[in-house]
Structures are given as structure tokens and as C-alpha cells.
Structure 1
């Protein structure tokens, strides 16, 4: 195994692939020097003297400016480096792409749910949605009733543990409580014996719908419309209070734009117009049950791989993210695009510093102009509240080697592979074109994943170097570890280990191909992700405005 890597020939730093002690001799490109500091795995050290104010280059782009002199062999840290990135402008030249070989997948398919509008789902869910937070309790009442009645509820493992602790307490066995160790239970996908073709009923509670700007209410309605229109959804039950900003009429208008045929069942209940809460909930449960009978008639059928819409996401990133997992799913993205499918790259604050590369990959000037406009507007909005993209890295990111936002961004952008950018979508816009799409979202893991699915992703690849349990209510989220230590330590939430790239036993291309095979199996319902088995149903709309 190599002990360091230079990511790009232009880089003036190397990345430690294992913990390296001060004094370690580094032989690189015919030069030999000693490390001046202990360099933990994932962190970077210089291969030349860097003067104060000098530039640090990684992934072939500017990622920071030295705030103090950094001698050759010195570690870069927050004490000697700050964020810096190149400016961006219009496209330099037309982009040429060399697509990967897809012969291996020629004629292959996945088993999916074909919808009337031509989309194909990887799961078959029914949704229950509140238009406003005031209805969250009522949604949870319906959730309890249906999950217990139909067998979708997860096993009450933790409830049983509390009951066992109660028994120990009642018996006066305090020492027994202190040493109590429950037996782990294997998580299983809970299918209903009543409706075997339905993967579950999902409940999208949220804290929006009123009290914010009208723009936020409209964005929420657009996002909810994207979830109802989604190919993994058979239909939806909607609960409204009646007086909120997020009116049912706004939701219906958003749905009409996505699907003018209105051929998906939608059940709407407004509490302020109902005789009583009991009457409304009883009616909603009865009519939803009748709708489930029809939804259960849908069965999986063969679908071309071009019907896969792949979300590309990362969270809890580390210094290996841009070396292993991110470029691996970037290759998977390229394969999907070459097969005629669609991929979505989001988290605009984590594209800071690589804008020009993406601009140059845009299919035409209309696409690149929209990207430039959204990026500049987003940065301006962040600066208006005393922040900026430079503040994006979290303490965990920094601790594990992502010292500046540009370092984080240059690695994060690798999730988008090398294919042309066919479209740029603002938040809640739905995908229209096959190929690589850029979607404006924040860097927040759950807000971004929620948005990718709301824009049509029927499966999501989620890379992590530190470990995060993020999932989604309606789309399978495949969790990929950037390193083997994490994959072993958090095996209960990790689906795929890309640490073999760091260890040198697999190439990025080999790993990307293995990931695609896993995507096909999970899309077909042959396998379920760890997030699905744990019922990790994270959903957070992005609130871009202020509370009023």
C-alpha cells in the first residue's frame, strides 16, 4: 500500500494515506525530503516551500492561501491555510466527452414499477403528507394506525428493552440495570401480508407551510408535488388545516405542471371544513385503504437502465472522500449517463472553486449561464447574513483533512464524474433531460437528499467518510464508506466499502462498476439498503427565507 498520493500532477501537496510520523522520508518525483510534523491519514503536506500568501493547489485547482510560511514537508492546517478559490466566467470552449465502455450492461434491465407518465419506480409507496406543521399530529395518528394494522411498523426492539428494564426495577435489581446488555436484533424489511406489492406507507412530517415567506410556502408545495409525482409513489393522502400559506391549490398547480394528465390518485382532507377531527381521520383512513387496494395491483416489470435517475450525495465527508468513494460513484454516474440514464449532482456550496470546470462541461451557454447566475446569487445571499461558502466545512470535516471549502468542494465535485452537464435546476425543479443535472441545494445532507429525490432521483448514492445514517422516505439511499475503518466500525449503516481504492486493491473504475451492479439489484428490490432496514426516513425541506 502506498503511504501518500498526489491527486493531480499540478498539486503542490500530497495526501497521507496512513498516519505518517515526523521525520518520515518522502521520496517523490526524484526528490527526497522529511516530514516536519506528524501527518495523520487524510491530511496534506507540502512538496515545496510555500511562502506566506502563496497558493495551495489540489485536484489541479486553487484550494487555499497560506497565512504563514509552510516549509517543504510541513502539514497544512487551519493555522496556516485559509479558503481561496479561482473566479469563474463564461465557457472557455466546447466540451468533448469520452464515454466509458458500457458493453457489459448492454441489454440489461432492472425490475421496476412502470407509471402511466413513463417514469419507472424502484419502490412502490403510498404517501401521507401534511400541508402545514399543524397537521403533523394527525399524520402520526394515521401512521400508527396503518403501520400496526398492516404490519409495516418496525420491530419494537427498544420498547422491549425498556420493558425489560422496568421488570428489573420493579424487582429491585438496580445492579442488573447497570449491567443490562440487550441482544441485537437483525433489522428486516417489513412487507405487508395484506398488500405484498406495496413497500410501505410513508409519512412526510415537516415544520413548514406557514409562518414563513410566501416563497417558502411555494417551494414547499413544489417539493411535495415532486414527491407525489415521483415514480416510487403510487398516490398520496394530503392533510390540510385550511388557513396556512401552503394552500392545497398551490400544490395542485405544482402537480399540474409536472403531470397535466393528473392520473395519480390524490386524496385531500381539510380539517377546518370537516365535521370533526375524528370524522376527517376516519374518512382519510377508509379512503386511503381503498386506494391501497388499487396500488397493490401494480407489479414489477422489466425496465431499461435508462430509467434510473441517480442522486449523487455526500455527508460526513473526510480527506479520503475525493480519492475513493466520490470518484467511484462519479464513474457510476458516467456509466448511467452513457446508458441513457439521468444523474443529479447537488450541494452548490460544495462546488465552490470548481465552477469553471463545470461551466466548461455545460452542454450550451443557456445551461452554463443559469449555473453562473444561481451560484452567484446563492453566495451573495450567504454573505448577506454574515456567512459564505468558505464557512461550509464542519468541525468533523476539518478534523479529517478538509481544511477549506475549496478542498472539500474539489473532492465533492468528483461525484459528478466527467460527463457533460445537460441541465441546471433550481431548488424543486424536476429533471427533464437524461444526463448529468446540477441541482441547487444547500450542503446540508438531509435537505440536499430530500431535494434530489423531490427532483426525481429514484435511487441515491451517498458517500461518507465519518459515518452518517441519512436515508429518505421513498428512495433507497445506498451508503458508501470512503475507508475500510469506517465500513467495519459502522457496518450497521454502511452498504458498500470503497476503502479498497485507498488500499490499492481496486481501481476507481472497478469500484464504480461494482456500485452499478449493486444499484441494479437494489433498484429491482432484490436487496434493501441499511437505511431502509433501519427505517431512516429523513425529510427536511430547505427554508430559504425568514420566519415572519
Structure 2
């Protein structure tokens, strides 16, 4: 690597270390020389000029912090000498002009998806089990064990095989501490059953802890979320299990489904335990009816569909100091390509847009969308402040250790996933996307709550960037993992699909990386590639109660 440091924006007064730099090393950049006052680890920053207490720290061309003590030119910028600061007096100031990227090479491209009767297109074909209340989770677990094992959807039995080998060693009085873990994972004797229904990509279960016991508003929000998943383009049919006496009554859920999609025609099989002859009989009847539904769902096949039918959610989690300069802006270029092709992009995580609001507000196509975004952001932050927190307390210890030391720094890099396209609309939690273009979706920054919300608004694929590594996935939306650095891709190949580290080394441009990501999305959407999160069965689902979650 020839370049040791990077300045993201010409107005920035910090430089980012691309490799580990040593104290007293003199760094030359753009005809300027910087004598380092400290060791500067890769992903961290140092000042390009002397700063006094209260001076502004500028990165990505925006205010991201203020000095809490004097900082020398070449000195490490970290939590001990700066604090969060951002522009919080934002409002739409100008009309936005955008030059779309050249998408001529994709104009006639298609992907093989599942066309639904309402015109939307799924990238997968799942059967979905929904409990209206947590009391039915155990029954769902029984059904899950029965169906997945027998129909060929169960995960690899390698861990059960590992336990069997330990049992054998123990019963033969061998020392189990002498067994190397890697020998327990030998899979030469493991046979994975073929799927009985090859056109059904999976049977999914929305176990949750809600539906009763909280506020009625919690149950109403949960109902809208479950309705969104029932209506999802990747879902072919639904089996609902209800206890009977819970807050979230089945009539509420069914009404929310119809409100969301008046033309909804998917099969729904409903079973209520308190009206059943017995629990066992109810479970068996649910299995039998679902089996009938799977036979019908298996008749649906993939057909060529225009790329404009893709809806991609963009997310970052376990971020590091490279996320905002490699993986996130690369995904941002993918987003711009998809928008230019008439597709849909969902950018969420409102606590991680704190400090990047002005750019997003200016990019809103309408003043109504800008005002909705501003209102949602400020009311959300006020909720957090009311309990002694706030968006400024969003970065995790892992973020901070790897260079994201204020929320504004984290947010400015996180917002890059949305590219540069105009913001078509702003969606509240569970609101469905109906227009083409880039949308802002109100969700927490929490990985699973955010991906859960993106899928609820209609994402049929999720691009998830990470610098530290996280196995997060989604129960109905295939989730593609992108690493911001190559060392992570090498260290955790079992969770990473695409390595964006070549951008850091100067081997690929952001545009080249973004095009590569789009090509992989087309393969996944066509069923030609399976993301690692799907292979691992990472079926994450956490409803947001609209309380304080950052």
C-alpha cells in the first residue's frame, strides 16, 4: 500500500491512518508534513492543525465533534480529547440535483424471482409461521423440529455429531481434553437430506416475546409488524398460531394484513389453542394443513424479472473506522445504481443518521418528506434524552475501539450506504415502500431491530456491512455480509460474503466495488448464490416496541 493516510473531504481537519503509524514518524500528505505525537493505529485519526478547547472537528466535510482539551498537529484524536458535536438545527435549504450513474450495462438485465399476484417480486419463497403471542413459541418449536428435520430444511447436524463423538470418547474412558476441536467437525459421515419441496426455499418461524402483557400499543405495533411479514414478497403462505385470550387478537392481525394490502390473496391457516380439542391435535392439524400449503407453494417457480423489482435494505453493524470509507460508500454506489434502474433502496437506523441530517434533508424531494424526517428524528432523540441517554451515546465499545469515537463520525460514515440519490420518501416503522427510489425508514440502530424493520417495509435483500464481524441475518430477507477490511474477511470467512478491503488498499475503486456488489445481489436474488447468513440459519427477528433503543 503506497498511501498511508486518507482525507475524506477537502474541508476535514483530521487524517485517517490506513495502516499502523508510529510516534515521531513524519507523514507526508498533499505537500504537507505531519510529525506524529502518538502511535496511530489503523482506522484512527490525527489532527492536521493545532486545535484549542472548543474548536470544531470536521470529518466527511461536516461537524463531528469538538476539542475538550488542546490538541497538537499530528496528535491522536480520541474520546479523551474530543466530544460529540453536530449540527442539530437542520432544515431543507435547497433543491437537490442528482446526476445518476451510467447503468446502460444493466438496462436489459433480469433476475429470476418469484412473481406475486400483486406484481411484487420475491427473491425467495418461504412458508411463514406466526404466533400472535409468546405463549405459542413452544408449540412453534415442536412444529419447527418436526417439519425442518423431515422435509430437508434442518441445519447441518455437525454439532450433534460432535456431541456424539464426545459421548463415545467418554464412555470409552478416553480423555476428551486430548481431542482437537477440529476433529469433532469432520463431516465425512454427515448426510444432508434433499428437500421434498425444491421450490420452497425454507419454512420460517417468527418466535417473539410480545402479543400480551405489555401495553395495548405494543400489541398494535406488533400486529402491524407481523402483518408486514405476512405480506412480504418473499412469503408464499402463512400459518398462524394463537392462544385466544391475548391482547393481539387474530382479528386485529387479519385486519392489519388487509389494510396493508387489500389485494392480499396468500393462503392463511389459523389455529387457536383455547378453541382446540387438545394441544397435540392442534399441532398435528397445523402440520397437516401446512403440508398442503407447501405442496401448492412448491408449484411457484422463478421467472425472469426486471432489476427494478428489487428492494434492497442497507445496514451496517459492528462498524469500524474503515466502514465509512470502504464498504459503506461501495454499497452507496450500489444503491445509486439500483435507484437509477428504477429499484428501491431503504436506509434506516435513525440513531446512526444523527449528525448527517442536513445532507439527507436537503436531498429530500419534497418539503413534506424533509419535515417528516426531521420530526421523527427529533422526537426519537427526545425520548432517549428523557431517560438520560441520547443519540450521541450510540457508539458501542467496539465502535470506539476501532475509530468511531463520536456518533457524528459513525453517522457520517453510516449514511454513505444511501449513496447520493434523492430521498423519495420517509417511512415510519412498518410503513410499506410503494415508490421507486431511496427511502429513509425509522428504525433503531440495533442490528436485528433495524433489519427486522427493513424487511417490514419491503426489503427483499439486505446489504449488511461490518468492520468487526457480526452474524446477523433476517428470517425472511436474505442478508448479504460485506467486510470493510480484508483481515476480517480472512478471520471470519464463515460469515462474510464480499470483501471490500481492496478499496482500502487502492486495488479497487468504490465504483468497481459497487458494481461487483450489484452483480452478487442479482445472483442471490436469482437463487444462484446463498449468503452465509442464510447458510447459517441466522433467522433473526426482534420487534421494536417504539421505546428507547439505539
SS at match of 1:381: helix
Aligned counterpart, 1:282? 284
Aligned counterpart, 1:543? 545
Task: Using structure 2 for the length normalisation, give the TM-score.
Answer: 0.97
Aligned counterpart, 2:315? 313
Higher mean Cα deviation, 184-193 or 273-282? 184-193
Aligned counterpart, 2:424? 422
CA distance in 1, matches of 2:164, 2:113: 41
> Could you tell me which of 213, 237, 242 is aligned with 1:240?
242
Aligned counterpart, 2:75? 74
Aligned counterpart, 2:348? 346
Judging changes above 3 Å, is the alpha-carbon distance between structure 1 residues 186 and 96 closer, same or farther for their aligned structure 2 residues? Answer: farther
For the 8 Å contact 1:191–1:199, the answer to whether it is kept is no
Structure 2 matches for 1:204-283, cutoff 5 A?
A: 204-283=206-285
For the 8 Å contact 2:231–2:264, the answer to whether it is kept is no
Aligned counterpart, 2:29? 28
1:175 Cα deviation (Å)?
5.1
Matched, 1:164 2:136: no
CA distance in 1, matches of 2:474, 2:378: 29
Judging changes above 3 Å, is the alpha-carbon distance between structure 1 residues 175 and 244 closer, same or farther for their aligned structure 2 residues? Answer: closer
SS at match of 1:231: coil
CA distance in 2, matches of 1:433, 1:186: 47
1:185 Cα deviation (Å)?
5.8
For the 8 Å contact 1:126–1:236, the answer to whether it is kept is yes
> Could you tell me which of 382, 385, 389 is aligned with 2:384?
382
CA distance in 1, matches of 2:415, 2:34: 32
For structure 2, which runs of at least 5 residues remain unmatched after alignment? none
CA distance in 2, matches of 1:196, 1:104: 32
CA distance in 1, matches of 2:45, 2:299: 56
Structure 2 matches for 1:96-107, cutoff 5 A?
A: 96-107=97-108
CA distance in 2, matches of 1:50, 1:151: 63
CA distance in 2, matches of 1:103, 1:180: 51
Aligned counterpart, 2:196? 194
1:184 Cα deviation (Å)?
3.9
CA distance in 1, matches of 2:362, 2:137: 45
> Could you tell me which of 451, 463, 466 is aligned with 1:464?
466
For the 8 Å contact 1:326–1:412, the answer to whether it is kept is yes
CA distance in 1, matches of 2:230, 2:89: 37
> Displaced runs of 4+ in structure 1, greater than 3 A?
175-181, 183-193
Residues 35-78 of structure 1: CA deviation (Å, up to 9, x unaligned): 00000000000000010111100000000011100100000111
For the 8 Å contact 1:310–1:458, the answer to whether it is kept is yes
Matched, 1:19 2:20: yes
CA distance in 1, matches of 2:90, 2:351: 17
Higher mean Cα deviation, 175-184 or 10-19? 175-184
CA distance in 1, matches of 2:462, 2:323: 16
For the 8 Å contact 2:9–2:61, the answer to whether it is kept is yes
Higher mean Cα deviation, 436-445 or 23-32? 23-32
1:90 Cα deviation (Å)?
2.4
Aligned counterpart, 1:182? 183
Report the RMSD for the aligned CA atoms in angstroms: 1.5
For structure 1, which runs of at least 5 residues remain unmatched after alignment? none
1:167 Cα deviation (Å)?
1.0
CA distance in 2, matches of 1:404, 1:509: 28
User: How many equivalent residue pairs?
Assistant: 546
For the 8 Å contact 1:100–1:334, the answer to whether it is kept is yes
Aligned counterpart, 1:46? 47
Aligned counterpart, 1:85? 86
Aligned counterpart, 2:132? 131
Matched, 1:403 2:405: yes
Higher mean Cα deviation, 527-536 or 173-182? 173-182
SS at match of 1:182: helix
1:202 Cα deviation (Å)?
0.5
SS at match of 2:383: helix
Aligned counterpart, 2:450? 448
> Could you tell me which of 471, 479, 482 is aligned with 1:480?
482
Task: Using structure 1 for the length normalisation, give the TM-score.
Answer: 0.97
